[in-house]
Amino acid sequence: MIKARNVSLVYRDGTVALDDVNLDLHAGGLYYVIGPSGSGKTSLMKLLIGIEFPTTGFLEVMGQPMRKRETAKIRKLRRDIGPVFQEFKLISGRTAIENVIMGMRFLDIPMNKAKELAKNALVRVGLEHKAFTLVDRLSYGEAQRVAIARAVARRPALILADEPTGNLDHDNAVKIFRLLESFKDRNTTVLITTHATHLIGGCNADALLCVEKGKISIERRGGRT
Amino acid sequence: MKNIGYFLREAGKIIRYNSVSNIFSFLGTGLILFLLGLVVAVWGISSQLVVLLQQEAEISAYFDKLPENPEDIINSIKSIDGVWNVSYVGAEEARSRMENILGDESHILDLFEKNPFEPYLEIRIHLDKIDPVLQSIRNIKGIDYVRDNREVLEQIKGISRALEILGYLVIAAVSITTLVIISHMIRQGIYHNREQIKTLRLLGAPDRFIGFPFVLVGFLLTFGGGLLASALITVLINRGYAQLGGAMPFIPLPPKDRLLLGIVTLLLSGSAALGILGSLFGLSSINKENQG
């Protein structure tokens, strides 16, 4: 699913975001990427979705080498990824269900089916009653759940959630984690970054990827890494 | 096709978002296209005029002495390539024509004791063959002098050429202006929607999906302008024909319906093409500004 060999990411200003990272993450796994703020978690997510590219080393996501010259193929690859962004990136002026459907409009999914998938996803995140509410009027936690619904509705092979609990309180943060964990199955890999390590105590992750100053060490949990 | 409703809604949203600028763009494009229509109309009418005048291009040939049988000379001239009609004008007819031209002043002809006009041949030719025709006629035995009206004909040709060049210049100016207006509007739309565009790209949306509503906006704005221009030019040509036809019936106007159909077709197809092209120019900025 994800293969990294000696991957480093150095920004233009010389900041070393990731340093000699080696990973082998398998399909259907649940992985938490943990570490303090500024350790390189978001940089890893940016590499995995193709916003940034490795300065050195080789990175492959679902068989697609992540190279700058392959941006067209990477754009296609993103259709198999369900991203949950730290700042949600919902489209304002649209309802919750419109935002969820938006992630499927350009896929080969008939509109009736897309509506059904969107509705089911909103039910799954507990927001069916807000389906026709403008996202601008949702609370922070609700907006986060719409973002999750958008990511999962199209049944991606890989869910990438970057700090999905952001500023949520303890209970809501745990709920979001459990919700994201629930999407893990044989076909879907879930990767969640968080600096709130105290919230993932009871998680059933396959592994924790501990990021510290750009280096990643792997702490196995489920023995599948 | 499943997204056509979405694309139309998006286009409407983009237009509404910057409604004042878009209304002015629509009006501006409409008026620019109206000017184009106007120039094309004048061009069409003048071309018709030139063609008719060229068809009417006429030279006069005078005899060295009154021939006993002018038919021989007439037949010789008719056989020249580039001549399409020859008619004999007798001295009395020549005088009568001059009286018609002089109108109230025709009494001055009475000052002459006898008819001052001589018979001559009125020869209609194809203007592009004037030189060889003149040479051939001058070589015919019995012809003394040929008056060719070349200056007038050359002037008409010159005016026609100038109008043609002006037409091309106006087409170029209208095209460039419309492209700049529309691409600018599209860039503004892209700028206002940059966050949405970034999100769609991160979700894997292809450029054609992201860009189509913008192309639609460009098309709708300029095509709307084309419709406005067509309506204005239709009104103008209808009124113009009504007035010119009454006041100056001697001006050879082309058939109104044919002229209108040509101009409206040009305006609508041109506006649609310019709208799409302008949008595509505007969209090129999406690739520069929103990579990711």
B190-205 b/e with 16+ CB inside 10 Å = b?
A: beebeebbbbbbbbbb
Confidence of residue B49 (pLDDT cuts 50, 70, 90): confident
pLDDT digits (tens, 9 = 90+) for B239-252: 988 887 666 666 66
- Residue A144 structure tokens: 């986060």
pLDDT at residue number A6: 94
Question: Any CB–CB contact under 8 A between A94 and chain B?
Answer: no
Question: Are both B164 and B270 inside the same structural domain?
Answer: yes
Question: Are both B176 and B262 inside the same structural domain?
Answer: yes
Question: Are both B281 and B192 inside the same structural domain?
Answer: yes
Question: Any CB–CB contact under 8 A between A123 and chain B?
Answer: no
Average pLDDT over residues A90-116: 93
Q: Which of residues 158-217 of A touch B (CB under 8 A)?
A: none
Q: Which of residues 160-219 of B touch A (CB under 8 A)?
A: 195-196, 198-206, 209
From A207-211, B5-9, B155-159, the region with the lowest mean pLDDT: B155-159
Question: Are both B142 and B158 inside the same structural domain?
Answer: no
Q: Which of residues 8-47 of B touch A (CB under 8 A)?
A: 13
pLDDT digits (tens, 9 = 90+) for B93-145: 988 888 887 777 788 888 888 888 889 999 988 877 888 888 899 888 888 88
Q: In this model, does residue A225 exceed pLDDT 50?
A: no
Final residue in a domain of this structure, among B107, B130, B148: B148
Question: Are both B132 and B183 inside the same structural domain?
Answer: no
pLDDT at residue number A223: 45
Q: In this model, does residue B201 exceed pLDDT 50?
A: yes
More confident residue, A133 or B174: A133
CB contact under 8 A, B202 and A76: no
Final residue in a domain of this structure, among B119, B148, B177: B148
Look at residue A134 and give its three-state secondary structure. Answer: strand
Confidence of residue A219 (pLDDT cuts 50, 70, 90): confident
Question: Are both B236 and B102 inside the same structural domain?
Answer: no
Question: Are both B81 and B159 inside the same structural domain?
Answer: no
Strands A64-65 and A215-220: unpaired
Question: Are both B161 and B32 inside the same structural domain?
Answer: yes
Query: Can you give the CATH number for the domain in which B134 is found?
Result: 3.30.70.3040
CB contact under 8 A, B196 and A77: no
Total of domains in chain B: 2
Question: Are both B222 and B124 inside the same structural domain?
Answer: no
Question: Are both B182 and B281 inside the same structural domain?
Answer: yes
Final residue in a domain of this structure, among B91, B117, B148: B148
User: Which domain, by its residues, includes B256?
Assistant: 4-53+154-289
Question: Are both B19 and B102 inside the same structural domain?
Answer: no
Question: Are both B142 and B162 inside the same structural domain?
Answer: no
Is there a contact between B292 and B196 (Cβ–Cβ < 8 Å)?
no
pLDDT digits (tens, 9 = 90+) for A61-99: 999 999 988 888 999 999 999 999 888 899 998 999 999
Please give the angle made by the CA atoms of A88, A92 and A93, to the nearest 5 degrees. Answer: 155
Provide the shortest C-alpha distance from residue B22 to chain A (in Å).
Answer: 20
Domains in chain A (CATH in brackets) are: 28-51+78-220 (3.40.50.300)
Average pLDDT over residues B199-221: 92
Average pLDDT over residues B278-285: 86
More confident residue, A47 or A205: A47
User: Cβ atoms within 10 A of the Cβ of B269, count?
Assistant: 12
DSSP state of B253: P
Confidence of residue B277 (pLDDT cuts 50, 70, 90): very high
Q: Which residues of A touch B201 (CB under 8 A)?
A: 75, 78
With a CB cutoff of 8 Å and minimum separation 6, the contacts of A104 are A114, A117, A118, A153, A154
Give which of A47, A62, A77, A89 to mutate to test B binding, by max B Cβ within 10 Å: A89
pLDDT digits (tens, 9 = 90+) for A22-33: 999 988 899 999
